[in-house]
Each structure stands twice: as C-alpha cells, then as structure tokens.
Amino acid sequence: MNNKKRVLAHIRNSAIIRNPLLFEAVGLCPVVAIATSLKSAALLALLTALEMIICEVFASLFLKNVRRYIRVALYFLLGIAVIFPIMAITKRFIPSLTVDFGVYLPLMAVNSLIALHCERIAVKRKVKNSFIDAVSASFSYGLTAIATGFLRELFGNGTIGGHEINIPVKFSALLLPFGGLLILGFLAAVLKAFIAKAYPDMSPDYSFDTSEVRRSLRGSLRELMNDDFNPYGEESDIIPEGAVYIKKHAPKHAKKIRMTNEDTIKITDDMVKAIKEADENQNDTDGKKSRKKLKHKKINRKKEKSVQKNLTPTVDETVLSMPDSEMPQDSGERTYLDDFSDMLSELEDYKNRVSADADGSADKDADRASEGTDVGGEEE
Amino acid sequence: MSWFLQLVSASFYVMLIQNLIFSGGYGISEAVRMSAKPRQLLPLALFIAYFSTTVSVACALLDLIPFVNALGELAHAGIFSAVLLLIYLITMTAVLIYGKIKPRTIRRIGIAAFNTLVLAVPFINYRSAFTVYEAVGSGLGAGAAFVIAVLLISEGLKRLDMNRSVPACFKGTPSLLIYTAILSMAFAGLAGQTATM
C-alpha cells in the first residue's frame, strides 16, 4: 500500500508539480517549433516518450558506474539510435511529416529533458523507479505538447486534426515559435493556479530556482569558472538550509533582519568557510589577533580602540558594518566574505523593501478606508 | 576581404536578424534555464561558441567533398551528429590530459556540446549552402546569439522576480515564458517571419 502511495506521489510530482515543460522549462525547443498541430504534437509526444523510456531504462541498467562525461555522450548516441530509424521510416511512409518536422527531428536526439531525467533519476535509482519516472514525465510532457499543438492548430489554423472549424478569427502567428511559448506560458499559469488550489502545501517554484538572478555578473573569468555549475539541479554541493544556518551561526544578524527559515538564501561550501572564519574571529576573546591584523592593515588608533572595545565581533560587525576604507585591502580581490556580506545586505534590502511596501499598502488601505467613510458621511 | 565580409554577415544574420534562439527556438531551454544563473553565462557561452564554431567548420569542410555533398539529409544528419560526438570526445580527452578538470567543467562541457543550438548550426549551414567562412561566422554568431538571449531573458527574469504586482499564478516560469515569447515575437518581426499555413 505504501509502495502504491509512493508511486502515486512520484507520478504526481513528476507530472504536475515538476512539470518538465511548464515549470522546469526543459525540452522546450521541439514543442515550440514542431507542435503546431494536433497530429505533429501527438507524434512528438510519442517519440519523446519512446526515447525517454529507452534512455532512462538503459541508463538505470548499465550506466550507473560509467563516468559522467561518457554518460552524456551515450545519451546522445541513444537518442540517435531511437530517432534516426524513425526519421528513415517517416521519410519513406509519411514524407509530409518529415517536411513538417524539418531540421527539428534529428535535433530531438539532444533533448535536454532526457539528459536531465537520466542524470537526476535513472543513474541513481532502480530500473522500476526509473521506468515510472520516464513514463510519468513523458506523459506530462506529451500531454502539454498535445494541448499546445491543439490550441495552436485551433486558433492559428482554424482546424482540429486537419478538419476545418469555423472560428471567427485566426491568429496564424501562433504557428511561429513565439506562439508556442505564449501558449506554454498561459498553460503554466493555469496549472500553477490549479496546484495552488489542489495542493496548497506544494509549490512548483522549487523546480526553477531564481535565487541567483538578483546577483550581478561580477568577478573575473577565472572566478566564474570556479563557481559551482548545477543548472538542472541533478547534483548539488549547496547547503539548502541557508537561513537556518545563518540563524545558527550569525544569530544577531538574522535577528536584526528578522530572518525566517522560509527566506530563500543559499550558502555554498565557500560561504560556510567564510562564516566559520567569522565565527573564529568572534571567538577570539583576547582580541590580540584581530588587533594585530588591524595594525597590519594600517588602521588608525582611534578606530582600533573602538574595535578593541567590541572584542566579540559578529558577522555583520566584521563584514557589513566595516566601512570600505577599513576593509582588508592587501589582496585586492573579492573574497567569499564579500560575497556573503553582499548576499546578506541584499536580503536585508529586500526585507526592508517588503516591510516598506507592506506599510505603504497598509497606509493606502487606511487612506481608502478613511476616504470611504468620508464619502459615506457626505452621502449620509 | 570578401571572406571577412562573409564571416561577419553570416555572424550578424545568425545573431541578430535570424536569432537562432528566439526565431528558431534552438537551445531555448538552455537559454531560459541559464537566465536564472547569470554568473554561469560567460563560461558556458564560451564553450557553446567553441562547439558551434568547430562543429560548423568541420561539417562545412566535410561538405566540400563531392561524395559527402551528394548524400541525402538523413546521411548528413548522421555525419553532423558523428562530428559533434567526435569533437566532444577530443575536447574531453584534451581536458582530461590537461589534468585539472573539475566536475563543474565536465557539466559545462556536456551541456554546451549536446544542445539543439550547437547541432542546429551545421544543419542551417547545409540548408543555406554556407561557405566555410560563413560557417565560421554562423558558429561564432550562435555563441553570441546565446549570450544576447540569456542576457535579455535574465534581465526580464530579474525584473519579473522583483515585481510584486505580478499575479501569484504568473510568478516564476509562466511570466518568464510569456516574456520570452514577447522577445521572440520582436525578433520574428525583425526577421520578417510569417506563418506558413
């Protein structure tokens, strides 16, 4: 019974909460380009399902101990092995479809959806689980593609499955790639509204992490090359409970900015190192080390005394409150502490803005309420 | 000098007039996903430009052989795929021999090599009968097109993420997809694309 429930939960997660097309934004290219009619969308769904099931089962059976860079190439080879015979068959028996699909049919061999599911699930789980995942993900992918194809054909071409339907206006531009994206966007909104109603404790937002987007593009190419790269969330060396970690290790700062556990803030291993360094400074009760460092960095005596008084510097004191002129300048490069402090100050700004907005809206409501009573009074 | 003009015109064609990501939808998943990781853009774009250019040039050179040129589209698809696979393996071998490879670099190379944008470039060259110089231009242009697409989407995502007046059900990917559709519409207009009915 438990197994059955688990399987159902997995299907629900894979098909609805983490819908690959609508929330994870993977495998968009074929749908946007090919799914312009019900027939082509159905064929696309079928091909994707076939490719996905074969690849995931194969990966789960044979590729668990294969190195990652070889696995990626093997997914491509498997894709070719599935797609190319179908290309040959369709060219011979349904040549019109080959024309419709054009260059996109061979491109399906490099479907990001398949690589993602193989890496995230197939190479880590048993064959049965991989098969269930492949079926549920390809089902949701196919269903979304078919819905997109249906709507594009109906409103773009005025037909359903090739049969003429009398609709007053045709939006033929929907057959272009942007039409596909537009319909997918609205379908995603509808599904999100449904999830909010049917599964209020679940959010599809977790499948597309945008926490990094507020950070600016900065740093040297070397630094960027050393950044963690995890675009599909298949492997992660990021500590997800960032807010909890900060509350534990920098409690004063967390309290100051009223940090809650729900605040989406991510800390990498390097950030942890930075926090630990800050903690070590905090525990430096005799203050000799910090004084020596400050002397070494040519900080004047007055400021040195003020630092000496605060012998238990917290993360915000050491990193955030220190003016730029007093920041260590010897290396001339940004450190992880800088990143960490930027991240915290961004979060603080955001919190302030949110509270200001809330205050503003409360004031507006109060104004409106008072206006309402005034008007009411006048009417009376 | 004409070779330079060929290279530049093909590059601009692929990058701006017929932006592969917005007008054709090639590599749109990678562009949308990467827009949420703006710090990863530069390294990944470099790898994409490298793969698209090398694959494009290698395929254009192979197409100069009369026997290869006479083959059908299916055979060409096989050749292009084999070239991509070969270049990926050569690159990985070189990187492994260099010895300082990190898992994140492997991830980057894998994603940069096997995506629809890189594989689409030789097909576009073949269909448009591009010369070798034009093939170099289209390869480089594909990398630049990716950078333009990610920067445009990323800026929109940033603003959408901070905008509190976006309805809850449109927050996240729904609004991002609609925003990308509007960008795509603009590029389609620039390219003068029309729907074939």
DSSP per position, A97-154:
HHHHHTTHHHHGGG-HHHHHHIIIIITTS-HHHHHHHHHHHHHHHHHHHHHHHHHHII
pLDDT of residue A257: 59
Mean pLDDT of B42-69: 90
Residue B125 has pLDDT above 60, yes or no: yes
For chain A, how are helix, strand and coil distributed in percent, rounded to 5? 70, 0, 25
Is the CB of residue B19 less than 8 Å away from at least one CB of chain A? no
pLDDT single digits (tens) A273-313: 666 666 666 655 545 555 555 555 555 555 555 555 444 44
Q: CB–CB of A212 and B92 under 8 A?
A: no
**pLDDT band for position A330 (cuts 50, 70, 90):** very low
Mean pLDDT of A307-334: 44
Mean pLDDT of A321-344: 52
**pLDDT band for position A236 (cuts 50, 70, 90):** very low
Task: Give the residue among B117, B114, B123, B115 at the shortest CA–CA distance from B140.
Answer: B117
Both tokens assigned to A202: 């679940």
Residues of B in contact with A76 (CB under 8 A): 81, 84-85, 114
Mean pLDDT of B37-64: 88
How open is the CA angle A122-A206-A31, to the nearest 5 degrees? Answer: 65
Mean pLDDT of A254-279: 60
The more confidently predicted of residues A54 and A279 is A54
**Which of A24, A26, A29, A75 should one mutate to test binding to chain B, selecting the residue with the greatest count of B CBs within 10 A?**
A29
For chain B, how are helix, strand and coil distributed in percent, rounded to 5? 80, 0, 20
Residue A333 has pLDDT above 60, yes or no: no
SS3 of residue B66 by DSSP: helix
CA–CA dist A241, A222 (Å, integer): 28
Q: CB–CB of A177 and B22 under 8 A?
A: yes
Residue B140 has pLDDT above 60, yes or no: yes
pLDDT single digits (tens) B128-138: 888 889 999 99
CA–CA dist A109, A373 (Å, integer): 66
Residue A139 has pLDDT above 60, yes or no: yes
Mean pLDDT of A214-229: 52
CB-CB: which of A69, A217, A225 is closest to B41?
A217
Residues of A in contact with B171 (CB under 8 A): 192, 205
Per-residue burial over A94-125, b = 16 or more CB atoms within 10 Å of its CB, e = otherwise:
eeeebebbebbbbbbbbbbbbbbbbbebbbeb
Minimum CA–CA partner of B92 in chain A: A69
**pLDDT band for position B178 (cuts 50, 70, 90):** very high
ipTM confidence score: 0.91
CA–CA dist A274, A268 (Å, integer): 10
The more confidently predicted of residues A303 and A92 is A92
The answer for B 158-197 residues in CB contact with A (under 8 A) is: 158, 161-162, 164, 167-178, 180-182, 184-185, 188, 193, 195-197
The distance of A303 to chain B (nearest Cα, Å) reads 36
CA–CA dist B25, A83 (Å, integer): 19
CA–CA dist A265, A254 (Å, integer): 12
DSSP states along A33-76: HH-SSHHHHHHHHHHHHHHHHHHHHHHHHH-TTS-HHHHHHHHH
B83 neighbors B122 (Cβ within 8 angstroms): yes
pLDDT of residue B127: 86
pLDDT of residue B58: 94
A349 neighbors A215 (Cβ within 8 angstroms): no
CA–CA dist A291, A285 (Å, integer): 11
Residues of A in contact with B197 (CB under 8 A): 156-157, 172, 175
CA–CA dist A312, A281 (Å, integer): 8
When mean pLDDT is compared across A32-41, A70-79, A361-370, B175-184, the lowest value belongs to A361-370
Q: Average model confidence (pLDDT) for chain A?
A: 72
A250 neighbors A278 (Cβ within 8 angstroms): yes
Q: CB–CB of B193 and A176 under 8 A?
A: yes
Q: Tell me, rounded to whole angstroms, the distance of Cα A218 from its chain centroid.
A: 20
pLDDT of residue B57: 92
Residue A67 has pLDDT above 50, yes or no: yes
The distance of A300 to chain B (nearest Cα, Å) reads 37
The answer for B 68-97 residues in CB contact with A (under 8 A) is: 74, 77-78, 80-81, 84-85, 88-89, 92
SS3 of residue A159 by DSSP: strand
Residue B190 has pLDDT above 60, yes or no: yes
**pLDDT band for position A256 (cuts 50, 70, 90):** low
Q: CB–CB of A210 and B36 under 8 A?
A: yes
Q: CB–CB of A25 and B22 under 8 A?
A: no
The more confidently predicted of residues A372 and A253 is A253
Sign of the Cα pseudo-torsion (B138, B139, B140, B142, in order): positive
CA–CA dist A377, A379 (Å, integer): 5
pLDDT single digits (tens) A347-360: 666 666 666 665 55
The more confidently predicted of residues A186 and A330 is A186
**pLDDT band for position B106 (cuts 50, 70, 90):** confident
CA–CA dist B92, A209 (Å, integer): 29
Residues of A in contact with B98 (CB under 8 A): none
The distance of A375 to chain B (nearest Cα, Å) reads 28
Phi-psi region of A66 (alpha: psi -120 to 50; beta: other; left: phi over 0): beta
CB pairs under 8 A between A and B: 230
How open is the CA angle A324-A326-A328, to the nearest 5 degrees? Answer: 95
pLDDT of residue A286: 47
Both tokens assigned to A332: 């001339």
Residues of B in contact with A103 (CB under 8 A): 120, 123-124, 127
Residue A217: other Cβ atoms inside 10 A: 12
A18 neighbors A139 (Cβ within 8 angstroms): no
Q: CB–CB of B114 and A106 under 8 A?
A: no
Per-residue burial over A277-297, b = 16 or more CB atoms within 10 Å of its CB, e = otherwise:
bbeebbebeebeebbeebeee
The residues facing A267 across adjacent strands are: A239
